[in-house]
Amino acid sequence: MHIEPFFDPDTYTLTYVVLDPTSKDAIIIDPVLDFDPIGSKTSTASAERILAYVQDHGLRVHLVLETHAHADHLTAARWLARRLDARVGIGERIRAVQATFQGLLDLGPDFAADGSQFDLLLADDQVVEAGTLRVGVLATPGHTPACVTYQVGDAIFTGDALFTEDYGTGRCDFPAGSADALYDSIQRLYKLPDATRVFVGHDYQPGGREVRWQTTIGASKERNPQLRASTARADFVKLRTTRDQSLAAPRLLWPSIQVNVAGGRLPAAHANGVRYLRVPINLRPATDDDGTPR
């Protein structure tokens, strides 16, 4: 098995092509659709790099997998799946995330909160085959209720649950996030063999170091600054909650969520032929129409 990482410096996101060099079977995990929030324009440069790699190596991509509905970048899963005749998969609890944001963004009754925008809804402990690759699914909620970790051989792909051992874990302050749940999820991962390779969903390059995408379960258990094997639940929940309260919302939160809960599809065009994104104003606290807090 070979794992090829792709780093998007604009969102610090890591995308992976996982492949069997002999059979040429492959999967893609967490691809990025580029988005300029100032001009409100999408582009496909990042996805085109992945497509070129796949084509140059003669790969047959069976699945494009999402670890969760990302809040910091738009997904290129649908763009790639259409060009590679692949299926898009995500954890089955995406339906809970869809229901949450259907209400929060007033997406209306036409938005289906049943996961039907995805080709595969994956259950905890399910194993899905991608040619010669076998992909295990581990539910790892906390960052969102629908987060999953994918396991292929001795490698796991943790999305925003667990980062490199010099950085920490994912935040838990999004709607329906839970530091308690994340604690349990990471403890589950810590039961895997210490040599298990961990491929992370983001690298924020602490201290300005070079980008990294890999650690191990053993290193995380020993040195993760937020959650080690010996860390008590109450200590982690307090640390994670306090840190989350100091964090700004992701820059691409609202565009990302709307596209990602829809399986990578942009909002439908209006009668004038233009597609629009919804951006709530002053959620907390709400204001009058002149901006006065209520």
Each residue of 31-63: pLDDT tens digit? Answer: 999 999 999 999 999 999 999 999 999 999 999
CB-based contact 236:185 (threshold 8 Å) = no
The predicted model gives 148-165 an average pLDDT of 98
Domains and CATH numbers, the chain: 2-260 (3.60.15.10)
CB atoms under 10 Å from CB of 11, counted, come to 20
CB atoms under 10 Å from CB of 120, counted, come to 17
- pLDDT per position as a tens digit, 179-221: 999 999 999 999 999 999 999 999 999 999 999 999 999 999 9
H-state helical runs in the chain: 45-56, 77-84, 94-104, 179-189, 217-223, 233-245, 253-260
Express as a percent the part of the chain with pLDDT over 70. 100
What residues have CB less than 8 Å from 177, skipping those under 6 apart?
142, 143, 144, 145, 171
> Is it the case that residue 98 has pLDDT exceeding 90?
yes
What residues have CB less than 8 Å from 66, skipping those under 6 apart?
29, 30, 75, 77, 88, 89, 90, 91, 260
Half-sphere exposure of 190 (CA within 13 A, CB side): 20
CA–CA distance, 159 with 141 (Å, rounded to integer): 11
CA distances from 121 to 65, 189, 258 (A): 10, 21, 18
Tell me which amino acid residue 219 is. Answer: A
